[in-house]
């Protein structure tokens, strides 16, 4: 799965993202709406991690959550 697919399946992905990163608020997820850079920024803010670490975690998460188109 790539980030275009995440955007397209955002409603389905939100629950899994919220489960993984419980500090993210519904507002964070609404604002991000599947956009990797925005979501990485929110992870940085909530978890105090670097942009690179946030992006790595997101990429690993997407790879682990393959969805059928």
What percentage of the chain exceeds 90 in pLDDT? 62
Q: Does residue 34 or residue 68 have the better pLDDT?
A: 34
| Tens digit of each residue's pLDDT (9 = 90 or more) over 7-31 | 888 888 899 999 999 999 999 999 9
Chain centre distance of CA 20: 9
Domains of the chain: 3-64 (1.10.1470.10)
What percentage of the chain exceeds 70 in pLDDT? 94
Predicted local distance difference test score (pLDDT) of residue 67: 52
Residue 69, pLDDT above cutoff 50: no
Which residues, including other chains, have CB under 8 Å from residue 47's CB and lie 6 or more apart? Answer: 21, 23, 54
Asked whether the beta carbons of 40 and 54 are under 8 A apart, the reply is yes
Q: Which of 63, 68, 23 is nearest to 42 (CA)?
A: 23
pTM of the model: 0.83
């Amino acid at each position: 799965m790539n980030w275009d697919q995440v955007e397209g399946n955002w409603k389905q992905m939100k629950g899994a993202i919220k489960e993984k990163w419980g500090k993210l608020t519904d507002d964070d997820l609404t604002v991000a709406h599947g956009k990797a850079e925005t979501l990485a920024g929110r992870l940085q803010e909530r978890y105090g991690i670097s942009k690179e670490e946030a992006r790595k975690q997101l990429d690993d998460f997407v790879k682990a959550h393959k969805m059928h188109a």
